[in-house]
Amino acid sequence: MKNNRLLEARKNKELTQEQFAKILGYKGRQSIANWENGHSVPPLSVAFKVADILESDVGFLFGIRVQNTHTKSKEAI
């Protein structure tokens, strides 16, 4: 499902996907596009950065759909 809240929040800040990706430390816009199109969600730490930059609430932008981590630590296995 498309994440219109994230899309609108980014546009309200007058940021392109490419600009926003660079602010977050990503090389290209693909991650941003995937989040906005609902294909994936960011890790929790990144979701908080996104919310801070867009001056919005992480819950409003992503609901409960965020990743805990990209990979599990060896202790968790």
Note if the pTM is more than 0.85.
no
* 3-class SS of residue 58: helix
Q: Given this model, what pLDDT does residue 40 score? A: 92
Token output for 55: 């001056």
Average pLDDT in the 4-13 region? 97
Closest among 66, 20, 22 to 41, alpha carbons compared: 66
Task: Give me the pLDDT at residue 16, please.
Answer: 98
Q: What is the CA radius of gyration of the chain?
A: 13
Domain harbouring 24, CATH code: 1.10.260.40
What are the beta bridge partners of residue 43? Answer: 67
Q: Count structural domains, the chain.
A: 1
Task: For residues 45-68, give the mean pLDDT.
Answer: 87
Reported as a single tens digit per residue, the pLDDT across 10-54 is 999 999 999 999 999 999 999 999 999 999 999 989 999 999 999
**C-alpha closest to that of 56 among 3, 26, 13, 1:** 13
Domain extent, residue 48, equals 4-76
Which pLDDT score, from 0 to 100, does residue 36 have? 97
Q: How confident is the model at residue 72 (pLDDT cuts 50, 70, 90)?
A: very low
